[in-house]
Amino acid sequence: MFLVFVFLVCGDLPPIDLELIETISRKNATAGPSQVHISYAGKDQVLVQWVSTSEKDPSQVNYGTSASSLTMSATGNAVSYSFEGYTSGGIHYVLLPALNTSTTYYYQVGGPGQWSTTYNFKSAPVVGKDNIFIGTMGDVGADSNSELTIKGLMDVRDKIGLDLILHAGDLSYANNYNPGGPVWDHYGEILEPLASKTLYNPSVGNHETIDDFTGFKIRYGVEILENNSAGGDFYWSVDFGFVHVIMLSSETDYAPTSDQHKWLEADLAAVNRQMTPWVLAVWHRPWYCSNHAHQGEGEKMRASFEPLFDKYNVDLGITGHVHAYERVDEVLDYKVTPGKTAYIVNGNGGTPEGLASTWEAQPAWSKFRVSKWGYGSLQLVNATHGHWMMFSDTNGAVMDETWFVRKYPR
């Protein structure tokens, strides 16, 4: 069946590769496991997900510490969903429990007669371990620029190592197309070489809204991640090495009376800064950005949550939404204030909607800004020093870098 796509947004979007999408759709209808990716679920657990022909296919992962001896096995479940004339394949999810820390595991997904190739990943470090490497991206999509971002992060992983990848919302841009389901499949295919071997944790963005967020919820195990930290509605947290990572939602209620606000305060109050001296938050719509695009869209969330960031000394916020890059100084209520939260706008991951190129007069809190495609790397070296780099999609050159230097204890 040939799939016809209708653009649902205004503007001149580059056409998505219909021939490639059709090929992927045929593959998913006839082949075994595809779109394999892994997420850190907290508590030394890894969530493994993939897509197959049907939800009736087996949901099994064989794994071990040697590629030639996958002696352990875990099983899970699978679901499918339908929307706009599209029906997904079986979307499988299996939790690997009680993994050893900082250990290379090998694994296959599927079941008898339809096993995948063998993948490998490094499990999460023990809580409290320093020198953590985190890759970042936002507003990626599923076209040629998106592939450059994904390949770029693979290059960083291969050269210097990556322990975890954080995605600040807007994954596939499936809601820009009708039907959107095959675009989710396309995104899953181009993401697999990165996220099948590196822990990948995305936050929610406005382009995940298609079918009431159904594709995002199911394909990225959102409820499992939320439940492991008593979160909900796209907010949750994990301890990873010596950083406490908080995923927030700018797409659901964040008012001072909201469940998300109450959860965030309780979560921050419980952080052990001796074990996790760094606190890093990720969400989609920026609070501080001097680009003309989307001005003010994060203001209500900032007014609600910034007092908590101040009270509990959140170190860094990473966002997307604005299709450009900007590094923001330590700031509180629009005033440069040493020791307060710094911010990164990382919405330049390859979105088919193009770059946001119009800037306002540069405020004092804006340290560096550019309208170019790219991806980031954050090395948290020890309790006081973190090295940040923003790379260019074009050639992997470093466009911007800095050291975050924090007091310890906070």
Q: Which residues are catalytic?
A: 294
Helix ranges (H only) for 162-210 are 181-195
Task: Give the β-pairing of 335-336 and 331-332.
Answer: antiparallel
Q: Do 286 and 322 form a contact (C-beta atoms < 8 A)?
A: yes
d(CA 200, CA 149): 14
Cis peptide before 307 (omega within 30 of 0): no
d(CA 2, CA 118): 32
What value does the CA radius of gyration of the chain take, rounded to a whole number of Å?
A: 20
Tell me whether residue 187 is exposed, middle or buried, using C-beta atoms within 10 angstroms of its C-beta: 0 to 12, 13 to 18, 19 or more: buried
Task: Give the β-pairing of 385-392 and 335-336.
Answer: unpaired
Comparing C-alpha atoms, which of 289, 291, 271 is closest to residue 281?
A: 271
The number of C-alpha atoms within 13 Å of 319 and in the hemisphere containing its C-beta is 28
Distances (CA, A) of 375 to 58, 146, 280, 350, 400: 36, 10, 17, 9, 11
d(CA 215, CA 194): 20
Angle at 141 between CA 139 and CA 145, to 5 degrees: 95
One DSSP character per residue, 281-334 reads EE-SS-SS--BSTTTTTTHHHHHHHHHHHHHTT--EEEE-SSSSEEEE-SEETT
Helix ranges (H only) for 90-229 are 144-159, 181-195, 214-219, 222-227
